[in-house]
């Protein structure tokens, strides 16, 4: 197998991509924030999810078909997709080759999946045996194409990380069936739940069979013409290129945008690119929670109107955050624009990670920004789309850290890691990143080795100049960062939400040091967000913070107000949540007067003496860590001192 093929998205031959992805096997995470999260994913989350696939009957659905058992299908019609997402997570997990127990489970599941496939390539356990006659009869609701997409993505991940074709051949046979069924001379249709579009484009990148790319593009072009009943929920109310802002089911809309971005990466369609940029901008500036969460409404799991962002009733599904990461990554590969990397990082920390507990065993489906203490993560769900989605996202994370252009290497995420890169001039570059980010703002990038091309007739002690493109995060104010090269100050104007290009003849032993100050920021929201009027949300670096009753046990959180002018103490809270940085600052609690004991409403009084103020110290924790201890209230948006 080509060792350079193990990339999560393969843009090496994508003519319209600005950035080329780096093989996930070339990246080794070391100690630090993401290493600890990925270790939990590999050692706890993936094994426990396999046990849940067994105990909830998802794997038995395959055995039922293989052995023609007289027992009913178990669970939702799309339960096959949970198995495929688990396969993808297990395949991307960096240690699959060294973990025989995990490898055996993967092989067993692949054997089950392969045995279910019919001679014509069709594969779906729900539409087997007694439901064979119902195949492809309800594309709006039955998720056949959605499940097919997840199978194809799992097969690509397995092929790229192991070099084996066992699952890939199943995926190719299924994709051929899709082309025969829905191709130019086949039936007209598209899926009620977009997902297969991304998968088919990636299968085209893997096989170079243009039919799969054309199939994906045709699925997208058919939306918005009433094939799915014209429902906004299904993003079928208008053609994609006529969308002015995102509407309908949030996960479906975001998966669709990611699939369209894949189309643009391969085709260069400038009209679609402009639509994507418009939708992304409107989403970020009018429809997104401060956490990066997306989807305001429980009804339809949907986007709301612009500026409709309730806190306690926020839906903000974990899968929507994951879909946002997938879309931002593709837009970053297309453009090289740091704003997409900024949102990717912010969403990972503040909207994806809250979806899984610190111990890796329980999950949130929805992610409110205010809670009375009744929301707790669950070990699984009947509709379990989020848990394996989180797992595969974490398993893919190393692939988001670096990328390449002809000019050099781009650093998107900050985490302790080693990476081997093959530059366009043939040089082999080994970088090491050392940091305690996101808790501290110091990042060290070391040149471990620069090897000239084989048979090069040059002085091996001198490398050709190349660039390191360093992301300056959007949460940082301009010219705040300090940069040193080999202990000497690097004088250059620094703008946030950009990539700083440092071009030189880098040598083995060179050291690039970046220090990002991490002041606490008190954020306010757009005036149209009426629910947040007079309130602030606290962030530090790339993390959003919240209050939780476990740290503020003697107060009613909605009564708490904080002083944004007070000194904030940033310190580790190891006694509470492990090695996380918490915040302490001055606040007040408004003790409601007795005159309100038997009243919900009263005449307005200009005296405003309806409460007693008491000074307190307020403790804040990163939002992604809430609900890991004793059940209690939580709040992100806090009142400000009057």
Structure tokens, 222: 């058919």
The rounded radius of gyration (Å) of the Cα atoms in the chain is: 25
Report pLDDT for 611: 55
Task: Provide the 3-class DSSP secondary structure of residue 407.
Answer: coil
- Considering only CA atoms, which of 546, 488, 477, 531 is closest in space to residue 512? 488
Cα 583 to the center of its chain, rounded Å: 26
Count of Cβ atoms closer than 10 Å to residue 101 Cβ: 9
Cα separations in angstroms, 473 against 102, 522, 632: 37, 17, 33
Structure tokens, 297: 């409404």
Q: What average pLDDT does this structure show over 101-110?
A: 95
* Best CATH choice for the domain 407-515 from the list 2.60.120, 2.60.40, 2.40.128, 1.10.4160: 2.60.40
pLDDT digits (tens, 9 = 90+) for 477-514: 888 899 999 999 998 889 999 999 999 999 999 999 99
Q: What average pLDDT does this structure show over 629-638?
A: 95
Q: What is the dihedral of CA 221, 225, 231, 233, to 10 degrees?
A: 10
pLDDT digits (tens, 9 = 90+) for 510-536: 999 999 999 999 999 999 999 999 999
Residue 163's region, left for phi above 0, alpha for psi from -120 to 50, else beta, is left
HEC secondary structure over 72-106: CCCCCCCCHHHHHHHHHHHHHCCCHHHCHHHHHHH
Name the more confident of 602 and 415: 415
Report pLDDT for 458: 52
pLDDT digits (tens, 9 = 90+) for 12-31: 999 999 999 999 999 999 99
CATH 2.60.40 in the chain, residue ranges? 407-515
Count of Cβ atoms closer than 10 Å to residue 67 Cβ: 10
Give the separation between CA 345 and CA 35, rounded to whole angstroms: 15
**413 near 352, Cβ under 8 Å?**
no
Give the separation between CA 114 and CA 171, rounded to whole angstroms: 9
Burial of 79 (0-12, 13-18, 19+ CB in 10 A): buried
Percent of the chain topping pLDDT 70: 94
- Considering only CA atoms, which of 167, 10, 165, 157 is closest in space to residue 88? 157
Find the helix packing angle between 386-396 and 80-92, rounded to 10°. Answer: 20
Give the separation between CA 28 and CA 25, rounded to whole angstroms: 7
Q: What average pLDDT does this structure show over 233-238?
A: 96
Residue 328 DSSP one-character state: H
Burial of 418 (0-12, 13-18, 19+ CB in 10 A): middle
Give the separation between CA 25 and CA 2, rounded to whole angstroms: 11
Task: Provide the 3-class DSSP secondary structure of residue 622.
Answer: strand
Structure tokens, 245: 């802002």
Give the separation between CA 377 and CA 111, rounded to whole angstroms: 33
Q: What average pLDDT does this structure show over 305-310?
A: 96
Close Cβ partners of 600 (under 8 Å, ≥ 6 residues apart): none
Pairing state between β 560-562 and 638-640? parallel
Count of Cβ atoms closer than 10 Å to residue 326 Cβ: 23
Task: Provide the 3-class DSSP secondary structure of residue 485.
Answer: strand
Give the separation between CA 252 and CA 266, rounded to whole angstroms: 22
Q: Where are the alpha helices (DSSP H) in 455-532?
A: none
pLDDT band at 1 (very low <50, low <70, confident <90, very high): very low
Report pLDDT for 274: 98
Mean pLDDT, the chain, rounded, equals 93
Report pLDDT for 600: 85
Structure tokens, 366: 């929805």
Report pLDDT for 323: 98
pLDDT digits (tens, 9 = 90+) for 450-486: 988 765 555 555 578 999 999 999 999 888 899 999 9
Report pLDDT for 576: 59
Cα 243 to the center of its chain, rounded Å: 23
Report pLDDT for 252: 98
Report pLDDT for 185: 82
Pairing state between β 520-523 and 27-29? unpaired
Task: Provide the 3-class DSSP secondary structure of residue 167.
Answer: helix
Report pLDDT for 94: 64
Report pLDDT for 607: 55
- Considering only CA atoms, which of 470, 348, 466, 331 is closest in space to residue 398? 348
- Considering only CA atoms, which of 401, 306, 301 is closest in space to residue 345? 401
Segment holding 370, helix H or strand E: strand 370-371
pLDDT digits (tens, 9 = 90+) for 132-191: 999 999 999 999 999 999 999 999 999 999 999 999 999 999 999 999 999 888 889 999
Give the separation between CA 623 and CA 291, rounded to whole angstroms: 8
Give the separation between CA 561 and CA 438, rounded to whole angstroms: 26
Task: Provide the 3-class DSSP secondary structure of residue 309.
Answer: coil
Question: Does the structure show a pLDDT above 80 at 558?
Answer: yes
Give the separation between CA 245 and CA 140, rounded to whole angstroms: 22
pLDDT digits (tens, 9 = 90+) for 585-594: 999 887 666 6
Report pLDDT for 183: 81
Structure tokens, 382: 């009947």
Burial of 93 (0-12, 13-18, 19+ CB in 10 A): buried
Q: What average pLDDT does this structure show over 409-420?
A: 98
Give the separation between CA 526 and CA 549, rounded to whole angstroms: 27
Report pLDDT for 459: 53
Q: For residue 3, report the phi and psi dihedrals to the nearest 5 degrees.
A: -65, -20
Residue 141 DSSP one-character state: T
Give the separation between CA 352 and CA 294, rounded to whole angstroms: 11
Cα separations in angstroms, 538 against 40, 359, 628: 28, 25, 20
- Considering only CA atoms, which of 402, 423, 399 is closest in space to residue 412? 402
Pairing state between β 417-422 and 569-572? unpaired
pLDDT digits (tens, 9 = 90+) for 565-581: 989 999 887 665 667 99
């Amino acid at each position: 197998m080509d060792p350079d093929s193990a990339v999560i998205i393969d843009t090496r031959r994508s003519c319209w991509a600005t950035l080329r992805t780096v093989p996930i096997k070339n990246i080794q995470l070391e100690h630090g924030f993401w290493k600890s999260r990925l270790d939990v994913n590999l050692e706890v989350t993936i094994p426990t999810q396999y046990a849940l696939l067994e105990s909830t009957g998802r794997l038995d659905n395959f055995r039922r078909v293989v052995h023609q058992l007289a027992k009913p299908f178990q669970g939702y019609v799309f339960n096959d997709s949970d198995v495929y997402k688990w396969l993808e997570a297990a395949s991307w997990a960096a240690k699959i080759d060294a973990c025989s127990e995990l490898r055996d489970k993967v092989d067993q599941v692949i054997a089950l999946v392969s045995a279910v496939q019919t001679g014509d390539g069709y594969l779906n356990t729900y539409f087997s045996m007694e439901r064979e006659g119902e195949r492809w009869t309800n594309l709006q609701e039955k998720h056949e194409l959605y499940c097919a997409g997840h199978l194809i993505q799992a097969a690509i991940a397995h092929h790229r990380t192991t070099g084996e074709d066992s699952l890939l051949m199943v995926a190719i046979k299924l994709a051929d069936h899709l082309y025969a069924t829905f191709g130019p001379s086949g039936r007209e249709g598209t899926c009620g739940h977009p997902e297969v579009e991304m998968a088919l484009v990636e299968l085209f990148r893997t096989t170079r069979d243009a039919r799969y790319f054309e199939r994906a593009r045709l699925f997208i072009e058919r939306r918005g013409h009433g094939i799915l009943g014209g429902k906004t929920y299904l993003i079928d109310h208008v053609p994609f290129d006529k969308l002015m802002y995102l509407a309908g089911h949030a996960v479906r809309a975001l998966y669709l945008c990611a699939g369209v971005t894949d189309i643009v990466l391969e085709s260069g369609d400038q009209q679609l690119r402009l639509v994507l940029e418009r939708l992304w901008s409107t989403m970020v500036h009018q429809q997104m929670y401060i956490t990066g969460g997306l989807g305001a409404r429980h009804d339809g799991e949907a986007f709301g109107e612009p500026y409709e962002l309730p806190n306690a009733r926020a839906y903000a599904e974990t899968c929507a955050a994951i879909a946002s990461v997938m879309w931002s990554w593709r837009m970053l590969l297309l453009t090289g624009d740091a704003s997409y990397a900024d949102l990717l990082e912010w969403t990972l920390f503040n909207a994806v990670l809250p979806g899984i507990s610190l111990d890796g065993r329980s999950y949130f489906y929805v992610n409110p920004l205010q809670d009375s203490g009744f929301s707790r993560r669950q070990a699984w769900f009947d509709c379990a789309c989020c848990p394996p989605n989180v797992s595969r996202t974490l398993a893919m994370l190393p692939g988001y850290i670096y990328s390449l252009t002809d000019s050099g290497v781009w650093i998107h995420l900050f985490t302790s890691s080693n990476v081997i890169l093959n530059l366009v001039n043939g040089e082999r570059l080994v970088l090491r990143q050392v940091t305690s980010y996101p808790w501290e703002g110091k990042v060290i990038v070391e040149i471990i080795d620069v090897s000239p091309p084989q048979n090069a007739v040059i002085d091996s002690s001198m490398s050709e100049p190349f660039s390191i493109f360093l992301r300056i995060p959007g949460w940082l104010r301009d010219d705040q960062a300090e940069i040193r090269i080999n202990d000497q100050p690097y004088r250059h104007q620094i703008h946030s939400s950009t990539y700083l290009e440092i071009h030189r003849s880098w040598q083995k032993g060179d050291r690039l040091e970046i220090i990002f100050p991490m002041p606490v920021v008190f954020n306010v929201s757009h005036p149209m967000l009426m629910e947040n009027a007079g309130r602030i949300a606290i962030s530090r670096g790339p993390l959003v913070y919240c209050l939780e009753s476990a740290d503020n046990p003697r107060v009613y959180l909605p009564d708490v107000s904080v002083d944004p002018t007070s000194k904030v103490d940033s310190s580790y809270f190891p006694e509470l949540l492990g090695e996380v940085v918490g915040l302490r600052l001055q606040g007040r609690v408004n003790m409601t007067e007795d005159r309100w004991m038997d009243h919900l409403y009263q005449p307005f009084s200009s005296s405003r003496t309806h409460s007693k103020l008491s000074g307190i110290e307020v403790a804040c924790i990163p939002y992604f860590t809430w609900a890991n201890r004793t059940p209690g209230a939580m709040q992100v948006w806090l009142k400000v001192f009057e």
